[in-house]
Amino acid sequence: MTAIPVGVVGGGAFGTTLAHLVGKNGHTALLWMRDRERAEAISRDRRNERYLPGFELSANIQTTTDLAEVAGRCKLILMAIPSSAFRVVARDLGDSLRGDHVLVSATKGLERGTFARMTDVLRQETCCLKIGAISGPNLAVEILKGVPGGTVIASGFEEVVRLVERSLHGPRFRIYASHDLLGVELCGAVKNVLAIAGGIARGMGFGDNTLALLISRGLNEMTRLGTRLGASPETFSGLAGAGDLVVTALSELSRNHRVGRGLASGKALEQILADLGQVAEGVPTARVVKEWAESHGVRLPICQGVFEVLYEGARPDDAMERMLSLPAMWETPATDIS
């Protein structure tokens, strides 16, 4: 297989991990970062000590601070930028792109005020048509350790799927394909909000029964929101939906789970995020989802409870009590069984 250069925009934990996967598969990964000193340190030391301390990175990673260089050298570009900065970076990158570039979002978030998914932003800010998104249970530390895992590439274009498979698929990291771009992106964003609820429950000392309840009912919320927007219900029971929700809600490696634990312990959100030192996408996404649900009359009680804790000063124990004290109801739509 001929090696290809692959651009990765964003030098955080997941962007660096994607670049490492590309390099391990024998391709050149051109990793764009804002900070020149950190970019030079990765090139020199083969480490990203800020986000992934202790891990040696592939020698096939090259770094740059020039988006035009990424566009000039790479046909496939993976975007791993926080949702809050995604539009600005996409616009800057767009100045150097051609119509035949392939862009893939690796960001699990939604834009506040527009409810835009990251692929919507890519369409709006660039000339590219061949666009996709990857999402799944992808804890960066486990991927770097070589623990078997996988992700979903969603796109309506076969070329997008094939290029991502060629770049990332390997013996320890499987790639699955989907045509449901909408569903895969919504799974990746909303599960982060639900993971905060999982962290709150675990931090309050609740057991596995409670976590299973939150995860299953959270999956129901994700599915109702997604199908209301036109996504396929099957997507939510797959790797990008149930798979990612389970690991993010349960794992202490999950940033959003750790946010929930911090809230349960009584820490202020600002302190939790400062201690985390990285973006927890569930925090801004909770506001976006709440605003959308209200405007469309969709009940999402777990997401609503997380929003109240994050932004309205609700006590985690009170919010959890409300989440767990909903009236009895049919789990699936009621049918006439007479």
Q: Is 108 assigned a catalytic role?
A: no
Amino acid (one-letter) located at 281: E
Pick the catalytic residue from 24, 108, 130, 191: 191
CB distance 19 to 31 below 8 Å: yes
SS3 (DSSP) at 171: coil
Tell me how far CA of residue 45 lies from CA of 38, 39, 42, 317, in angstroms. 10, 10, 5, 45
Query: How many C-alpha atoms does 204 have within 13 Å on its Cβ side?
Result: 20
Helices (H), the chain: 13-24, 36-45, 67-73, 83-94, 118-125, 140-145, 158-168, 181-203, 208-229, 244-250, 255-264, 269-276, 282-296, 301-311, 316-324
Sign of CA dihedral 239, 244, 246, 247: positive
Amino acid (one-letter) located at 145: K
Q: Residues 96, 84, 5, 97: what is their CA dihedral angle, to the nearest 10 degrees?
A: -20
Residues with active-site annotation: 191
